[in-house]
Amino acid sequence: MSIARQASEITLPAINKGWDTVLQFLCSRFEYISEPVWRQRMADGKVFWFNGDAVTPSTPFSPSKRLCYFREVAAEPVIPLSHHIIFQNDHIIVADKPHFLPVTPGGDYVNECLLARLQRDTGIDDMVPVHRLDRDTAGLVLFSVNPHSRPAYYQLFSQGAIQKQYQAVAMLTAAAQQHELPQHWHIENRIEKSHPRFINAVVPGEVNAVSDIKLVAKAGVLGLFELMPRTGKTHQLRLHMLSLGMPIMHDNYYPLLQAKSLPQFDTPLQLLACALSFVDPVTGDVKAFSSDLKLSSFQTL
């Protein structure tokens, strides 16, 4: 059994959809965790309000209230790939995350995540990621290690004041194979949650997802792309590459959701968060970071 070193937090929905108790909400929200498991966690003191007050099976649902709980899994996978700290000062850490490693606890992963690894490396417990990468995506992640300056770094993302660049490898369409380099695409559409809930889809409606994509190199039928997301919707780049008819190599979600299986370390998703730059809100300096990782599919050709 793996149990998280630190509690996870969740804010209860502002609108009550018929939940009389916190227990009912948790069973609805985490459908793969049974009610007896939640009852045992409550009995063990592993579910509580943010102020420390205990939550019991009869505790009423309270809209917008912050809830804490300790995650646990029976058997946690081990990711045999290394992470690296690119930069560290009194306010932030920038780390290179390998493929397959989640940024924070989730699903089958509790302590085998980038956050927990960095906490162990540095001895800093008060650390939070300012943004996220999918578990399948490799590359740069920015963490805040100072609660006083933390809001300023959050605002970099909320205000669109940070530049992120990705690389991806995909099989080229016939038209892309014949076109001269470079090729450019500007994509604007709407992305919303689909089913199951960890899958997203492009739907009609007001634009909420914008990306610029450029094909910069070819190797046979494969292409190396540079991607610049202008917004931050979940799976945005994966869906935008799919919309071009060139889904990212080794994508287990799009175009078809693959059955859950053990990580295939020899075929990682060919998506890398390769660069991050911004004006530091504390020092006023321009900071620019580059990943040391490479996309294996293009390098081996």
74: CB partners within 8 A, 6+ apart: 1
Looking at the structure of the chain, the number of domains it has is: 2
Task: Say yes or no: 66 and 27 in one domain.
Answer: yes
Assess if residue 45 is contained within a domain: yes
Domain check: are 67 and 88 in the same one? no
Tell me the pTM.
0.84
Q: Are residues 99 and 142 in the same domain?
A: yes
Query: What CATH number has the domain bearing residue 9?
Result: 3.10.290.10
Q: In this structure, are 97 and 21 located in the same domain?
A: no
Between CA 200 and CA 254 the distance in angstroms is 9
| 152 and 275 belong to one structural domain | yes
List pLDDT tens digits, range 5-57: 778 889 999 999 999 999 999 999 988 789 999 999 999 999 999 999 999 99
* Token output for 143: 């963490």
Whether 46 and 99 map to the same domain: the answer is no
Question: Which residue type, as a one-letter code, is found at position 107?
Answer: G
Burial category of 170 from C-beta neighbours within 10 Å (exposed 0-12, middle 13-18, buried 19 and up)? buried
pLDDT digits (tens, 9 = 90+) for 123-167: 999 999 999 899 999 999 999 999 999 999 999 988 989 999 999
Look at residue 78 and tell me if it is in a domain.
no
Which residue, of 32, 52, 73, is where some domain finishes?
73
38 and 172 co-located in one domain = no
Q: Which of 167, 171, 182 is nearest to 292 (CA)?
A: 167
Q: Assess whether 202 and 156 both reside in one domain.
A: yes
Domain identity same for 211 and 287:
yes
Does the residue 79 lie in any domain? no
Structural domain for 115, as ranges:
84-299
- Asked if residue 172 and residue 60 are part of one domain, the reply reads no
18, 42, 73 - which closes a domain: 73
